[in-house]
C-alpha cells in the first residue's frame, strides 16, 4: 500500500477500498503519511466525494485510531449535542446544564474556533480559572456530581481526527461533507454517548450555505450514528442571521447566563429549548420540562456547579475589551439584513477568533448587536458595537461588515425564517 496510489484513486473519481482507508488513516496517525499528502487526499475527497460505505469505513478507521469511552456506570442516561458551527452560537453553554437539570448526563466534548465561527471552549475560557482539559476520571467525576461537563476531547479519543481537523482548517477543505461527517461522528461515537442531537446550521454564517448540502450532511451523520448504535437525530437550523445579540467569547458567556436566569434573546431561548427537548426525548426522558428548569433556577444551579467543578468562578467579572467602536444606521427604516458571515468575520478580525490553531484569542473581543432584522431603526441609531483590545483592528473589521447590514424604507415587510427548518431522523 502506498499513499500516492490512494491519492490517485480518489483524484480519478475512484472508490477507496476498505484496505486503502484503513491503511491511510493508520499511516497518517503514525506520521508515515505527510501532511501535504493527506492535504492532497482531502482536496480530492472535497472535489469528488465519497459514497456512504466509504464514509462509514473512514469513520470507523478514525474511531479505531484511539480509545473509546464508556459511560455505562452512570446512573443517568447520556445525551450529547453537536453544532456544525455558527455566528453567535452559544447554545451549548445554557443547553448542557439545562438538560442535566432535567435528569440526563451530558458529556459535551467541544472544540475551539474554526474560521469565522466561535469555539465553545474559547468562550468558556473567558471565565477566570475555568479548565477545558480534564482527565477521563475528572470528566466522570463532574458527570456524576453535576450531570454535565463541557471539556476538550482527550488526546486518546480519535487522534486521527485531531490531526486531520487541524489540517482541513488550513487547506481549504473544511467544507467537504464526508470529512465533516466523519470528523464529528468519529469523536461522538468514540465518546460513548447513548444518544446524540445534531444542530446542522444552514445559511451564510454556516459552513453549509444551502439547505440541500445541509440536509445531505445531516442524513450522512444520522446514518453513521444509527449504524454504530447511537440514537441520532438532526435539526437543520437557520444561520443567515447571527444567533442572539452577541458574537464573541465573554460577550456570549454573559448572554448565556441571561438565558439561564430566565431571560436572554428569544431566538437563543427557542433553539436551546428545541434542542433540549430532542436530547431528553432521545434519552428516554420524555416527561421532563426544560422550560420549567429555566424558570425555577435549577438550570442556573447546574451551570454554577459545572463551572466551579472545572475550576472556574461563576461569580467572577468577565473580561471587557479596552476599546469600542459604534456602527450606526445610515438611514431610517426597517433592518432587513444582518449577514451572519459578515458579522462572524468582523468578530474574528477583532480578535475573537484565530487564523491559525496556535493563535491566541481575546476574551473581550467581539460584536454586540443592538437591533435584529425586522426591527425599525432611525438614522444615527447604534446598530453594532465592536469590541477589541487592539483598535488598529477596527478598520479591518469594518471592511468585513460592508454590505452586511441592510436598511430598507419604512413600511417594508420583513418575514424572518424559522429557526428550526427541518428535522431529520
Are 253 and 292 spatial neighbours (Cβ–Cβ below 8 Å)? Answer: no
Active site residue 82: yes
* Catalytic member of 123, 168, 302, 387: 168
- Residue-wise DSSP of 121-169: HHHHTTSTT--S---HHHHHHHHHHTSEEEEEPPTTSSHHHHHHHHHHH
* Catalytic member of 39, 65, 126, 183: 183
How many angstroms separate the CA atoms of 249 and 239, rounded?
Answer: 18
* Catalytic member of 161, 199, 238, 267: 161
Residue burial 43-56, b: 16+ Cβ < 10 Å; e: rest: bbbbebebeeebbb
For the record, the C-alpha cell of 102 comes out as 432535567
Helical (H) or strand (E) element with 138: helix 136-145
Active site residue 161: yes
* Catalytic member of 10, 90, 187, 277: 187
- CA angle at residue 168 from 67 to 107, to 5 degrees? 40
Would you give the DSSP letter of residue 83?
E
What is the pairing mode between strands 231-238 and 195-202? parallel
Distance of CA 221 to the CA centre of its chain: 15
* Catalytic member of 82, 123, 162, 201: 82
CB atoms under 10 Å from CB of 183, counted, come to 23
Query: Any residues with CB less than 8 A from the CB of 55 and at least 6 apart, and which?
Result: 178, 181, 182, 220, 224
Active site residue 187: yes
The residues that are catalytic are 82, 161, 168, 183, 187
Amino acid at each position: 500500500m502506498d499513499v500516492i496510489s490512494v491519492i490517485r484513486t480518489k483524484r480519478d473519481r475512484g472508490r477507496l477500498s476498505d484496505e486503502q482507508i484503513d491503511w491511510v488513516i493508520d499511516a497518517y496517525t503514525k506520521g508515515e503519511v505527510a501532511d501535504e499528502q493527506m492535504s492532497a487526499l482531502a482536496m480530492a475527497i472535497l472535489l469528488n466525494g465519497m459514497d456512504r460505505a466509504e464514509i462509514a469505513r473512514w469513520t470507523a478507521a478514525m474511531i479505531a485510531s484511539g480509545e473509546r469511552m464508556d459511560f455505562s456506570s452512570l446512573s443517568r442516561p447520556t445525551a450529547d449535542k453537536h453544532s456544525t458551527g455558527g455566528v453567535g452560537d452559544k447554545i451549548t453553554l445554557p443547553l448542557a446544564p439545562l438538560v442535566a437539570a432535567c435528569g440526563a448526563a451530558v458529556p459535551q466534548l467541544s472544540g475551539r474556533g474554526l474560521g469565522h465561527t466561535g469555539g465553545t471552549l474559547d468562550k468558556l475560557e473567558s471565565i477566570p480559572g475555568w479548565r477545558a482539559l480534564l482527565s477521563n476520571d475528572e470528566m466522570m467525576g463532574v458527570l456524576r456530581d453535576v450531570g454535565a461537563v463541557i471539556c476538550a476531547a482527550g488526546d486518546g479519543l480519535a487522534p486521527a481526527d485531531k490531526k486531520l481537523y487541524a489540517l482541513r482548517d488550513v487547506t481549504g477543505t473544511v467544507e467537504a461533507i464526508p470529512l465533516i461527517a466523519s470528523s464529528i461522528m468519529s469523536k461522538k461515537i468514540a465518546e460513548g454517548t447513548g444518544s446524540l442531537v445534531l444542530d446542522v446550521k444552514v445559511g451564510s454564517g454556516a459552513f453549509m450555505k444551502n439547505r440541500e448540502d445541509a440536509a445531505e450532511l445531516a442524513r450522512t451523520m444520522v446514518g453513521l450514528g444509527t449504524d454504530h448504535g447511537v440514537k441520532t437525530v438532526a435539526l437543520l437550523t437557520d444561520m443567515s442571521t447571527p444567533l442572539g445579540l452577541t458574537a464573541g467569547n465573554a460577550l456570549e458567556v454573559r448572554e448565556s447566563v441571561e438565558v439561564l436566569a430566565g431571560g436572554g434573546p428569544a431566538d437563543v431561548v427557542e433553539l436551546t429549548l428545541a434542542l433540549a427537548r430532542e436530547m431528553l426525548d432521545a434519552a428516554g426522558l420524555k416527561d421532563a420540562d426544560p422550560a420549567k428548569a429555566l424558570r425555577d433556577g435549577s438550570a442556573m444551579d447546574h451551570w454554577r456547579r459545572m463551572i466551579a467543578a472545572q475550576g472556574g468562578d461563576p461569580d467572577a467579572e468577565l473580561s471587557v475589551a479596552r476599546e469600542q467602536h459604534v456602527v450606526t444606521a445610515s438611514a431610517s427604516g426597517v433592518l432587513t439584513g444582518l449577514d451572519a458571515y459578515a458579522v462572524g468575520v468582523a468578530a474574528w478580525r477583532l480578535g475573537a477568533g484565530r487564523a491559525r490553531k496556535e493563535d491566541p484569542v481575546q476574551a473581550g473581543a467581539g460584536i454586540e448587536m443592538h437591533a435584529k432584522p425586522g426591527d425599525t431603526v432611525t438614522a444615527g441609531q447604534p446598530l453594532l458595537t465592536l469590541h477589541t483590545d487592539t483598535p488598529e483592528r477596527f478598520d479591518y473589521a469594518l471592511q468585513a461588515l460592508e454590505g452586511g447590514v441592510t436598511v430598507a424604507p419604512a413600511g417594508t415587510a420583513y418575514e424572518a425564517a424559522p429557526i428550526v427548518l427541518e428535522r431529520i431522523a
